[in-house]
Chains A and B, each alone.
Chain A
C-alpha cells in the first residue's frame, strides 16, 4: 500500500528556478523523509522531519510538514542540472512497538532541470 503520494508526478524547470513537490499521507507518523534517486541507482537520504517539527532546511532544500493536513512539501531552490532525479517521500508510521520500524514510499516526482 502506498502511504505517501507525491504531486506532481513529473516536473520540468529551467536551471536557476525553484522546484516544489508535495507529499500526502494517510496515517499518523513518527517522521517523514525525502529521498533522491538518480536513474538506475539507489536512493539517497536527503532530509528527515519529525512529527513535532514544521520546517527544516538543509542547504538548498526546505521541507515543511503539516500534520493536520497530513502533507509535506520539498522545495529545491536555485535548481541545477545535477538536481535532475526522482524524489520520493517516505513515512515512518506510528506503530505497535513489536512491528518494527519501516518506511512506506510514495510513487515519486520526476524532476528535469534543463540547462
Chain B
C-alpha cells in the first residue's frame, strides 16, 4: 500500500542536541513538506521541496535543516539553534501540479527534556 511514513512517533531531545526526524513516501510524489503544530494551533510551514536536491524555507525555518537526496525521503533536523522545539511535526507530500491534495504522515511528537 502506498503511503507516507514518519518515524519515530515520539522523540525526546536533551538541551543542545540535534535530532533528525524521518519522512519517507512511496507515492511517487514530487513535493514534500514539513509542518510544525503547537497544541491547539494550526500548522506552520518549516521547509518544502519540489524536486530532488532542491528545497525552500517556509515561514519558520530558523533552527531547522533539511535535505532531499532522494525523491522518497525528506528528513528534518531540529538543531540546537531551535530554542523551543517541543511540538508535533507533520510531514506531507503531493504532486507538483496544481489542484492536488496533500497526504500527511502520522506525525512525530518531539519533547525537550
Contact = CB atoms under 8 A, between A and B. Distances in A.
Interface of A: 1-2, 30-31, 33, 35, 40-45, 48, 50, 88, 90, 92, 99-108, 110
Given A42-B90, A43-B90, A101-B98, A107 B107 contact: no
Given A35-B104, A92-B99, 20 more contacts: A1-B59, A30-B99, A31-B99, A41-B106, A41-B107, A42-B105, A43-B90, A43-B102, A44-B104, A45-B102, A48-B101, A92-B98, A100-B50, A101-B31, A101-B96, A102-B48, A105-B35, A105-B42, A107-B41, A108-B42
A101 B90 CA distance: 17
A100 B99 contact: no
A63 B39 CA distance: 27
A100 B48 contact: yes
A88 to B, nearest CB: 6
B65 interface: no
Interface of B: 6, 31, 33, 35, 40-45, 48, 50, 56, 58-59, 88, 90, 92, 94, 96-107, 109
B58 A102 contact: yes
A104 B33 CA distance: 12
A43 B91 CA distance: 10
A37 to B, nearest CB: 9
B97 to A, nearest CB: 8
Nearest to A43: B104
A65 to B, nearest CB: 13
A92 B104 CA distance: 16
Contacts of A31: 98-99
Contacts of A41: 106-107
A22 B45 CA distance: 22
A40 B88 CA distance: 8
Contacts of B35: 105
A100 B31 CA distance: 9
Contact of B45 (A48, A102, A108): A102
Given A31-B98, A100-B50, A106 B42 contact: yes
